[in-house]
């Protein structure tokens, strides 16, 4: 069953649990480990593997995912979206003066009204999905009653105040008059927030994806006696272990650089003007658009479409950049550091006896914090770039040896560490 209780324990407590099947741990360094989950403790995760019981530091674990998750049938037709980003599939959505709830895949869900962003009462369809999400992304003081147009060509809305939602109808205050609207006419409701509430959403370090398609965010999680209990900003939610597809512990801790949307991405050409390579190929042999397609930045793979690899170590996440490329990302003062492993990809590292080189320049705002030559013969090197207070991160991969032959620079496992709010600041 799934229940919501009052907000409880603030300690990060984990208990001995067993997943129905093997799980895979994904670590900060990109390594993966598979086995039967034995325990998740305060400091470590224990797996029973073919080599015996293994312990992994909890601080180094990013993701726990089931290898063979149980398929969930009879998914609910509606959905409740919460202000912390959680999304729960539900049927029979009801709303009273203080709570909103419905029948979820694993039990009854009840949430305080002020925590509910939107409630979709009809099945999700591709026809209306994009328009519905546009309504949900709007900031509004009034509630938006979203209805289907009579010709089924799209969605429309009316601003007002939603009162109760019962099994048959919705009470809606429009221009001083209360109207009872049949639920069959209502696609969903986006709930407004008064401008003076100052409502903020606390970052959640834990994300759970379930077999029912639910997405849940929380601050702490307990796993005990075949049940998981997630503590959120609006209560506690419980479910069976076999319902979990994935537990992501990176949310609110790190953002992978390969997944962070850049402000600007520029490729200036594969070879410097006047270089030997540019003379050999000729000015008209390779057009700039074709160059850009060949040498554009690659995310989570090298320029050949293969996994990022340095000294035979494979990395699941990162960037492969060819000279001369410059990318900048927004930081907005929200990150503590950039961590990465830098080096030339194995695919080309020794193609020129390791003498091929690039110049890596990293700036925070307009301050150069790293300016380094990196050759193919160099060992991969971990870096940590302080970012506290910075608004922009810029990475330039430049020509290091007068040409761009074999200039495949990897920023492997590149991740932005988020600044954590203190408990006092979060309340």
Tokens found for residue 413:
């496992």
pLDDT tier, 72 (very low <50, low <70, confident <90, very high otherwise): low
| Predicted local confidence at residue 27, as pLDDT | 82
In this predicted structure, which of 177-186, 231-240, 257-266 has the lowest mean pLDDT?
Answer: 231-240
Residue 5 reports pLDDT greater than 60: no
| Predicted local confidence at residue 3, as pLDDT | 44
Q: Which residues pair with 221 in a beta bridge?
A: 230
**What percent of the chain clears pLDDT 90, i.e. is strictly above it?**
45
More confident residue, 268 or 118: 118
Same domain, yes or no: 136 and 266: no
pLDDT tier, 28 (very low <50, low <70, confident <90, very high otherwise): confident
What contacts 24+ positions apart, CB below 8 Å, involve 373-379?
373/400, 374/342, 374/343, 374/344, 374/400, 374/409, 375/344, 375/400, 376/344, 376/348, 376/349, 376/350, 376/351, 376/352, 376/406, 377/349, 377/350, 377/353, 378/343, 378/344, 378/354, 379/311, 379/343
| Predicted local confidence at residue 424, as pLDDT | 33
Domain finish residue from 145, 172, 190: 190
Q: Number of folded domains in the chain?
A: 3
Same domain, yes or no: 261 and 353: yes
| Predicted local confidence at residue 288, as pLDDT | 55
Residue given tokens 């032959």 in the structure block? 405
Same domain, yes or no: 305 and 387: yes
| Predicted local confidence at residue 225, as pLDDT | 65
Residue 169 lies in a domain: yes
Tokens found for residue 130:
């994009």
Residue 219 lies in a domain: yes
Determine phi and psi for 67, rounding to 5 degrees: -70, -40
| Predicted local confidence at residue 201, as pLDDT | 55
Distance separating alpha carbons of residues 109 and 238, to the nearest angstrom = 10
CA distances from 370 to 61, 82, 128, 258 (A): 28, 41, 48, 20
Same domain, yes or no: 280 and 212: no
CATH number of the domain bearing residue 332: 2.60.120.1060
Distance separating alpha carbons of residues 340 and 382, to the nearest angstrom = 6
CA distances from 383 to 38, 57, 206, 338, 380 (A): 34, 21, 26, 8, 10
CA distances from 37 to 32, 213, 215, 288 (A): 14, 23, 22, 51
| Predicted local confidence at residue 1, as pLDDT | 37
Residue given tokens 């995310």 in the structure block? 299
| Predicted local confidence at residue 386, as pLDDT | 96
Distance separating alpha carbons of residues 228 and 241, to the nearest angstrom = 6
Residue 195 lies in a domain: no
pLDDT tier, 4 (very low <50, low <70, confident <90, very high otherwise): very low
Same domain, yes or no: 67 and 209: yes
pLDDT tens-place string over residues 262-285:
999 988 776 666 554 444 445 444
Domain finish residue from 190, 210, 238: 190
Mean pLDDT of 294-306: 89
CATH number of the domain bearing residue 63: 2.30.30.100
DSSP state of 298: E
| Predicted local confidence at residue 68, as pLDDT | 67
Q: Which of 194-198, 288-292, 372-376 has the highest mean pLDDT?
A: 372-376
Same domain, yes or no: 230 and 343: no
Q: Identify the domain containing residue 390 by its residue range.
A: 255-418
In this predicted structure, which of 100-104, 212-216, 272-276 has the lowest mean pLDDT?
Answer: 272-276
Mean pLDDT of 179-187: 94
| Predicted local confidence at residue 280, as pLDDT | 45
Residue 62 reports pLDDT greater than 90: no
pLDDT tens-place string over residues 73-96:
546 789 999 999 999 999 999 999
| Predicted local confidence at residue 81, as pLDDT | 95
Residue 409 reports pLDDT greater than 60: yes
| Predicted local confidence at residue 138, as pLDDT | 86
pTM recorded for the entire structure: 0.64
Question: Do 374 and 342 touch, CB atoms closer than 8 A?
Answer: yes
Same domain, yes or no: 208 and 333: no
More confident residue, 18 or 294: 294
Same domain, yes or no: 285 and 400: yes
Residue 11 lies in a domain: yes
Same domain, yes or no: 289 and 353: yes
Residue 427 lies in a domain: no
Residue 424 lies in a domain: no
Same domain, yes or no: 216 and 179: no
Q: What is the mean pLDDT of the chain?
A: 82
User: Which of these, 352, 325, 335, lies nearest to 411 by C-alpha position?
Assistant: 325
Residue 426 lies in a domain: no
Question: Do 359 and 340 touch, CB atoms closer than 8 A?
Answer: no
Domain finish residue from 190, 221, 242: 190
pLDDT tier, 18 (very low <50, low <70, confident <90, very high otherwise): very low
Residue given tokens 């490329």 in the structure block? 325
Same domain, yes or no: 168 and 286: no
Mean pLDDT of 394-403: 88
Residue 423 lies in a domain: no
Same domain, yes or no: 42 and 90: no
Mean pLDDT of 340-349: 94
């Amino acid at each position: 069953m799934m229940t919501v209780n009052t907000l409880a324990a603030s300690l990060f407590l984990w208990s001995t649990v067993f997943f129905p099947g093997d799980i895979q741990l994904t670590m900060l360094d990109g390594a993966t480990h598979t086995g039967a989950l034995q325990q998740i403790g305060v400091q470590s995760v224990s797996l029973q593997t073919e080599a015996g019981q293994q312990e992994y530091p909890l601080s180094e674990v990013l993701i726990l995912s089931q290898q063979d998750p149980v398929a969930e049938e009879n998914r609910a037709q509606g959905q409740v979206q919460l202000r912390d980003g959680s999304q729960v599939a539900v049927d029979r959505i009801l709303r009273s003066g203080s709570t909103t709830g419905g029948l979820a895949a694993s039990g009854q869900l009840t949430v305080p009204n002020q925590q509910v962003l939107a409630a979709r009462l009809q099945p999700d369809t591709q026809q209306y999905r994009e328009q519905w999400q546009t309504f949900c992304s709007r900031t509004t003081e009034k509630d938006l009653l979203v209805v289907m147009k009579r010709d089924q060509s799209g969605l429309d809305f009316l601003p007002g105040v939603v009162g109760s939602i019962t099994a048959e109808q919705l009470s809606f205050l429009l221009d001083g008059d209360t109207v009872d609207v049949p639920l069959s006419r209502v696609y969903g409701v986006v709930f407004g927030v008064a401008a003076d509430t100052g409502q903020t959403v606390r970052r959640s370090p834990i994300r759970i994806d379930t077999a029912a398609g639910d997405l849940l965010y929380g601050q702490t999680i307990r796993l005990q006696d075949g049940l998981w209990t997630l503590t959120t900003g609006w209560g506690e939610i419980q479910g069976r272990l076999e319902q979990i597809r994935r537990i992501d512990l990176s949310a609110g801790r790190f953002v992978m650089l390969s997944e962070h949307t850049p402000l600007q991405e520029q490729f200036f050409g594969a070879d410097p003007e006047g270089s030997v390579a540019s003379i050999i190929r000729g000015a008209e042999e390779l057009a700039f658009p074709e160059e850009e397609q060949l040498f554009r930045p690659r995310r989570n793979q090298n320029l050949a479409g293969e996994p990022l690899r340095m000294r035979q170590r494979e990395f699941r996440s990162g960037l492969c950049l060819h000279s001369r490329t410059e990318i900048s990302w927004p930081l907005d003062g929200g990150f503590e550091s950039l961590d990465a492993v830098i080096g030339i990809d194995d695919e080309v590292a020794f193609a020129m006896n390791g003498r091929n080189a690039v110049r890596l320049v990293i700036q925070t705002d307009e301050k150069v914090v790293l300016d380094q030559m990196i050759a193919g013969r160099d060992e991969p090197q971990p870096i940590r770039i302080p970012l506290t207070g910075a608004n922009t991160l810029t990475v330039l991969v430049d020509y290091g040896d007068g040409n761009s032959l074999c200039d495949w620079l990897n920023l492997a496992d590149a991740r932005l560490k988020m600044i954590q709010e203190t408990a006092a600041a979060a309340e």
